[in-house]
A and B are shown apart, each in its own frame.
Chain A
Amino acid sequence: MIQIRDTPLPRAGKAVGIQTVGMTMHFGSFTALDNVSIDIPAGTFHALLGENGAGKSTLVKCIMGFYHQTSGSLSVDGHEVSVQSPKDAATYGLGMVYQQFTLVPSLTGAENLVINRAHVPAIINWAKERKDLATFMERMPFKIPLDRSVSELAAGEKQKLEIVKQLYLGRSFLILDEPTSVLTPAEADEMLGLVRGMTERGELTVLMISHKFHEVTKFADAVTVLRRGKMAGSGLVKDLSTKDMASMMIGDVKLAELDTRLPVPADAKPILVISDIKAPDRTGLKMIDIGNLTVHAGEIVGIAGISGNGQKELAEVLAGQRPPEAGSITVKGLLYGATRQETRINNVRFIPEEPLNNACAPKMTVTENLAFRTFDVKKQGGDALWLDMKSMRKRAASLISDFKVKTASHSSPIASLSGGNVQRAVLARELTGDVDLLIVSNPCFGLDFSAVAEIRARIMRARNSGTAVLLLSEDLDELLEMSDRIMVMSDGKLVYETPALSADIGVIGAHMAGHH
């Protein structure tokens, strides 16, 4: 099919502006997007705020041509265009950085960049490509090893590579879907600062989906807020306060508040004691080496660190997914090897990162997933031989309503739930019953605001009732808000410890970056 273009080709490095007029999208009887009109002039930085399910991703998917809007239109630089596919969007210079990575894991960074070009030569001259890439990368502030396969990169590096990829492809309008969720504060500021600089020089127009108000106020020119598919408000960032934006976003819903932090009793018993654990990291080249880590009852110990410094491996060791080569883990004084029996006796619960893959069987139902801790024990104790479907369903129904898990039905596969709801479901399973030790890894990654507030409140409540919590997180704000003590992990080791109350972000950041 010959594509007849109705606008001139975008020039690389020259920003384009876009406009949506009356965008509406129905899925059956459900209205995901209701008459949304936004105007993003060329060379501006626009933020899109909204809760999960508010229609943000529907809107950007319509812009990018993944969905075809029921009604409404899209203009690029004042010309109405019809975008039938992401390929069409690319010809108009529209690009998007997704929250899920679209890089091909087994290819190297360089291969990923080159293969995404519109015109790839039949035979690739790598000597020339490497030289061109090196020249290109000189203009980028990120240092990414382009010769390593993407599967070896840490999440933060992948996210940077995604952005670099779009710039490499010469996009002049970029949609960023929560671009900083895996970056450290300094990295995020640096990256957004660069992007902001490009918009100011008129090289790029940006539409950023975000939940972080401080990013929006610091970097965006204008903001549009969506709520339940409708436009809840918009305006210039300088005219709006954080409070205005928050109230547009959540309407009159009250956010869950953290319980008051009860003081840790002086005689609190140590629950988790890790001593001299050594284990190979995911590359097999380096080791993680945890000298001593103790978590007491009723205390939250936060582990800070840039992704890829061994936090994931530590979590895997504690979950029994990675056998340590040396050292010991004790829980309540008993040696702990993460078997099902040991976790049950000691009431150890685990909320890993990416819970859909690490803590759920994605294709099994919500009910079944909620029963993973209990399906093989009888109510009176002892091993169950037959599944008690009736009580499983009853229990699932009560957990779903207690933890406000939004699901079409109790028998939907858990993979059909949104990220926040999977997280809630796992939380429901893990926090029900007696919990003496809770190991949590990035619990709020990619979740919206009210889900975040609620999940943090649940963890705080567990802490106040005497649970020992080990919180591994890449979000420093989260650690500062939640933890009693913060430890910094860098290069596989715990390098710094501070009480959260007197913590100094600068010092923590310096240790995260490896200056210690």
Chain B
Amino acid sequence: MDEAGIGIWGVPLAIFAGAIRVSTPFIFVSLGESITERSGRINLGLEGTLVFGAMTAYAIAVMSNSPWLGVFAAMATGAVFGLIHGFICKFPKVNDIAIGIAMMQFGLGLAFFLGKPFIQPVAPHLPSIPLGGWSDLPQIQSALNINVLFIIGGLLSVMLWWAFKNTRVGLVLRVVGDSSDAARAMGLNPDSVRLLATAVGGSLAAVGGAYLSLFYPGSWNEGISSGQGLMAVALVIFARWNPIGCFLAALLFGGAGALGPALQSVGVTQGYYLFYAAPYVLTLVILVATSSPTRSLAGAPGALSITK
């Protein structure tokens, strides 16, 4: 038996592999959302963008036989979704959260409608990098078979963290997100900045979708997302709008999510369904533990509609 080769070590290994596998879409959606929220706007529609991105990526990959073309097509459609959200929110008395929910439903519906013909065909998968060649154990080799998007996501989070502090674009984004008045006094147009930030956020969220349909689980159907787009929005708040925090939170979330299947694989048969709830319980516990009634949420962009 394969499992017997490493015995109980299968659990942490499975959690590690699961963390990487499950976390990738969370990484992209939460990085995208952190950009959008840092500009002072919340895009709750990312769930719709994610599913639409999954569909687009899959469809284009099927037609062109190139998974990367699929990813880029998904980014383009994600940006369009972001632009629509940003454009509508520009008008006075429009609530970004309500528009986000509408955009989510719109994205889901449109993806299912356009995606019907692509449920059957098989698309090429995104590549992964085998980093486990040094080991003889197949379990370790498969666990260290790391997908390219995860690595890109990790690099992107460090880059964004750096960019928020060290680039003009990053500072402008934070200024707009923190104080619309200060931004206007500086001659910046908060609406344009937010429009672009929402578009970039949408395109990153769509990459998360492309991962779902082109890598893991690696097929297109209507049940492809289990709320990653929505949970990622919560992850951003959990990570206090810090891109590296988003990356770590996504990993933690992914690892907790892999706990159930991992226990199942080593033969725990009783109550492992309970462990499927682990990510959500963990999120609640950490949020409660790190919050304080006397301090306001550190790092929250001041112009967000939830903090105003």
Contacts and interface: CB of A to CB of B under 8 A. Distances in A.
A111 B178 contact: no
24 contacts: A85-B187, A100-B181, A102-B181, A102-B182, A104-B174, A104-B175, A104-B179, A104-B182, A105-B178, A106-B301, A106-B302, A107-B174, A107-B178, A111-B171, A115-B172, A115-B186, A116-B186, A120-B168, A121-B168, A122-B167, A122-B168, A123-B166, A126-B166, A284-B295
A102 B182 CA distance: 5
Q: Which of A100, A111, A114 has the most CB of B within 10 A?
A: A111
Given A106-B302, A107-B178, A323-B294, A124 B167 contact: yes
Contacts of A124: 166-168, 171
A53 interface: no
A115 B183 CA distance: 10
Contacts of A107: 171, 174-175, 178
Interface in A120-135: 120-124, 126
Interface in B275-302: 293-295, 299, 301-302
A284 B298 CA distance: 12
B302 A122 contact: no
A493 interface: no
Contacts of B172: 115
Residues of B in contact with A, size category: 20 to 34
Nearest to B175: A104
Interface of A: 85-87, 100, 102-107, 111, 114-116, 120-124, 126, 280, 284, 322-323
Contacts of A102: 179, 181-182, 185
Q: Chain A binding site: helix, strand, loop or mixed by DSSP?
A: loop
B171 to A, nearest CB: 4
A322 B292 CA distance: 12
Contacts of A284: 294-295
B63 interface: no
Nearest to A280: B294
B169 interface: yes
Contacts of B165: 111, 126
Nearest to A119: B168
A120 B173 CA distance: 14
B245 to A, nearest CB: 15
A317 to B, nearest CB: 11
Given A124-B167, A284-B295, A105 B185 contact: no
A111 B182 CA distance: 13
B294 A322 contact: yes
Q: Lowest 8 CB-CB distances: which A-B pairs, in order?
A: A115-B171, A120-B168, A87-B187, A106-B178, A104-B178, A104-B182, A102-B185, A104-B175
A107 B185 CA distance: 16
Contacts of B168: 115, 120-124
A105 B185 CA distance: 14
Contacts of A111: 165, 171, 174
A116 B295 CA distance: 29
A122 B175 CA distance: 15
Contacts of A120: 168, 171
Given A116-B186, A126-B166, A106 B171 contact: no
A103 B182 contact: yes
Contacts of B294: 280, 284, 322-323
